[in-house]
């Protein structure tokens, strides 16, 4: 259902929420211009008002403004997203955050996430491959185990184990995150992930001039287990 607000009105609102200091932080994480620097907390107020709006999300993403593209992912009606929509979003994702989070969040909630993830991880383009692994991470976080191809996930775990060290820094980071997601949200495969993590040891990646670090798989899973959260699914991959 449409909220009655236009794309232009939302863009004006986002521009008004912009912060130069936050924009500088985003730029350090690889975000490209045009960007207003609107904080996610402020965007959430818009999300609360709009909830879901398929057509508006397409228009916002097509604007090319980073803040609008990120917001588009938060208000997208994932179930209505076509394969063409998702491929178009992937083609326009020009930075790590859109490729790692926005596109995977929406793809994983659509009917095409599992298929597209397998297509994207084969890509030689860094951002596309990142989106593929990110989509798998998001998919396992929200999908009941009885609707997941566990044997297929085992194959992916093995693939990560054999290829992670030869991938680019950002793809390596995303593969590491995928192992953590599988170990966290798919209880039958947690021990499989831990065995691989022990063989791999600490994963290193240069993530640029920012405070991002590669999380340790075993340490992270131990903390999740201590909270009693292994196997607990999320209502939404989006945040």
Check residue 42 and give its pLDDT: 97
Torsion sign across C-alpha atoms 144, 145, 149, 154: positive
Check residue 212 and give its pLDDT: 82
- Cα of 38 vs its chain's centroid, Å: 19
Of 188, 213, 194, nearest to 203 (Cα)? 213
Residues 6+ apart with CB under 8 A from 215: 176, 177, 180
What's the CA gap between 225 and 101, in Å, rounded?
24
Check residue 139 and give its pLDDT: 98
Q: What is the pTM of this model?
A: 0.95
Domain ranges of the chain: 1-76, 83-239
Using DSSP, state whether 132 is helix, strand or coil: helix
Q: Is there a contact between 161 and 203 (Cβ–Cβ < 8 Å)?
A: no
Using DSSP, state whether 45 is helix, strand or coil: helix
Torsion sign across C-alpha atoms 206, 96, 178, 231: positive
The tokens for 11 are 């863009």
Averages of pLDDT over runs of 10 residues in the chain (239 residues) are 81 98 95 98 97 98 98 98 98 97 98 98 98 98 98 98 96 98 98 98 87 92 98 96
Check residue 213 and give its pLDDT: 87
């Amino acid at each position: 259902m449409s909220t009655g607000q236009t794309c232009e009105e939302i863009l004006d609102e986002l521009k008004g929420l912009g912060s130069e200091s936050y924009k500088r932080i985003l730029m350090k994480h690889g975000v490209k211009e045009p960007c207003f620097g609107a904080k996610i907390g402020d965007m959430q107020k818009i999300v609360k008002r709009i909830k879901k709006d398929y057509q508006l999300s397409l228009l916002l993403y097509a604007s090319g403004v980073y803040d609008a593209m990120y917001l588009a992912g938060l208000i997208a009606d994932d179930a209505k997203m076509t394969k063409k929509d998702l491929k178009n979003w992937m083609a326009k994702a020009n930075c790590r955050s859109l490729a790692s989070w926005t596109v995977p969040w929406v793809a994983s909630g659509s009917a095409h996430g599992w298929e597209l993830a397998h297509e994207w991880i084969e890509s030689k383009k860094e951002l596309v491959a990142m989106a593929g692994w990110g989509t798998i991470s998001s998919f396992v976080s929200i999908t009941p185990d009885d609707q997941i191809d566990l044997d297929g996930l085992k194959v992916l775990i093995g693939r990560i184990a054999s290829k992670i060290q030869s991938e680019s820094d950002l793809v390596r980071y995303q593969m590491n995150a995928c192992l953590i997601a599988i170990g966290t949200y798919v209880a039958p495969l947690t021990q499989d992930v831990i065995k691989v993590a022990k063989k791999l040891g600490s994963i290193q990646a240069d993530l640029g001039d920012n405070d991002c670090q590669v999380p340790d798989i075993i340490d992270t899973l131990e903390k999740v287990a201590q909270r009693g959260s292994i196997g607990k699914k999320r209502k939404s991959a989006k945040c």
